[in-house]
Amino acid sequence: MGNNAVTVRVMPESPDIDLEKIKRKIKEKLSEAANIKIEEEEIAFGLKALKVNLAYPEEKETDEIENILNEIEGVSSAKIEDIRRAFG
């Protein structure tokens, strides 16, 4: 089976949340994913979102990603922005 290239936007609960801690938890919780890349994206008034790009097994439900990320302490919301079939 192949992989899907998935992009998820993760919003912290407040600008005071430790984003590095959330990044570590994301990598820990999404152990089935490969090539996890996390970037910070400025929103407004000091608030930053995390843009998570990863390769996720095609046979797995992508809704699981949102559910897993929404359970992380300090995360307000996690929403899949893009899913594409990865080749190669």
Return the pLDDT at 46.
87
The tally of domains found in the chain comes to 1
Q: Are 1 and 58 in contact (CB under 8 A)?
A: yes
- Compute the C-alpha angle 70/22/12, nearest 5°: 60
* Backbone φ, ψ for residue 2 (5° rounding): -100, -165
For residue 46, give its domain range.
3-86
With a cut of 70, say whether residue 88 has pLDDT above it.
no
The residue among 19 and 32 whose pLDDT is bigger is: 19
The CATH number given to whatever domain includes residue 41 is: 3.30.70.60
Buried/exposed code over 24-57 (b: 16+ C-beta within 10 A; e: otherwise): ebbeeebeebeeeebeeeeeeeebbbbebbbbbe
**pTM for the full predicted model:** 0.89
